[in-house]
Amino acid sequence: MSSLLSCVRCVALLGPWYTQVRGVKRWLRPYLMMLERKKRLEEPPKPVPRYQQPHFDYHAEIVAFSKRLNESFSTDLLKTAFVNHSYVVKEEKERSELGLDNETASLNLQDNRELAQHGLDFTVSYLTSTIQQAFPNLPTVGVKSLVDYLTCQQVLCHIAKHLGVEDLTLTSECPVSPETLQSTFYGVIGALLQSSGANAAGIFLQDFLISQLIGKDLFDIWSVMDPMTLLVEQLSKRNLPPPEPRLTKQSGASTVLPVYFVGLYCNKQLIAEGPGETIFAAEEEAARVALRKMFGFAENRRPWDHSTSRQGTEDSATLDSVC
């Protein structure tokens, strides 16, 4: 009897035993639905700029940006490249609202407008000269189309976002607008130009801008409405007769998916051949193929060799003598 009482006392002291039981949590689904309804009723939280978030060391991020790109930036110039004019105006306005006088409220900060203009001018001139050297037979209109594509807002913003420029940009906008991101990227190029010179800035453009042409077709960038007329003009400049189109192959002419191959002959030589759903479309495609070959922009072209621009004059002279 005494042993039974001792066991009862032990159970009373220890309390009930809780064991893990597998089952359906009936409360979970209504709770999650309530959270979802609350999220829909409330407005989404406003985005906060990265430089205003906690645990963000701006100076360390600037230095890390330079090291990540393996470029020798001047720290002061690189910081200036990320400062937009709207940020300076916003900070001065907030200081004046605190009751500070004009001299105290004014910031000793320089915006990136001058650096962005230098970067834009250098980018356009460098891309134009590089494309002209790589494709000497390409007309001026085609060169301008390639330069306009590489300097368009969509391409530059794509590069800037993947390089982390958006997180370091100081602006009054949140999120950063494409126009601001584009000008900031030009400011980074201008800062590199003034920090390390034109050679380093040119290599930077080769790595990040000119590489955007990989896998791109010439006529996807340069819109030519009448390729046959352009081909006749290019052949006449070379004192060659106009091309003669000839149907070389066809298949499924009586079906809903016919295909025709048209070849272009010049001086009794086949210069290009292209497919199409109609004879006219195949003739235009053959003209585009001939123009790609003529301009050196064919699909099987050799990749650009930038090794000479990355080495000194002695190395380039040695390579030329070996070749």
Other Cβ atoms within 10 Å of 186 Cβ, number: 25
pLDDT value for 309: 54
Q: Is residue 175 reached through a cis peptide bond, with omega within 30 degrees of 0 on the bond before it?
A: yes
Half-sphere exposure of 235 (CA within 13 A, CB side): 20
Which of 35-49, 108-122, 200-214, 225-239 bottoms out in mean pLDDT, i.e. has the lowest? 35-49
Task: Inform me whether the pLDDT recorded for 259 exceeds 90.
Answer: yes
Helix or strand (DSSP H, E) at 31 = helix 28-41
Residues near 80 by beta carbon (within 8 Å), at least 6 away in sequence? 110, 111, 112, 115, 187, 191
The whole-number pLDDT of residue 32 equals 94
More confident residue, 25 or 67: 67
**Domains with residue ranges and CATH for the chain:** 51-218 (1.10.1520.10), 224-295 (3.30.160.20)
> What is the rounded average pLDDT of the residues 126-148?
92
pLDDT at 285 over 50: yes
As a whole number, the mean pLDDT across the chain is: 84
pLDDT at res. 181: 94
Q: Are 160 and 181 in contact (CB under 8 A)?
A: yes
Closest CA to 292 of 244, 222, 212, 240: 222
Q: Are 81 and 191 in contact (CB under 8 A)?
A: yes
Q: Where are the beta strands (DSSP E) in the chain?
A: 244-251, 259-266, 269-276
Q: Is 153 strand, coil or helix?
A: helix
* pTM of the predicted structure, to 2 decimals: 0.77
Residue 92 tokens read as: 């001065």
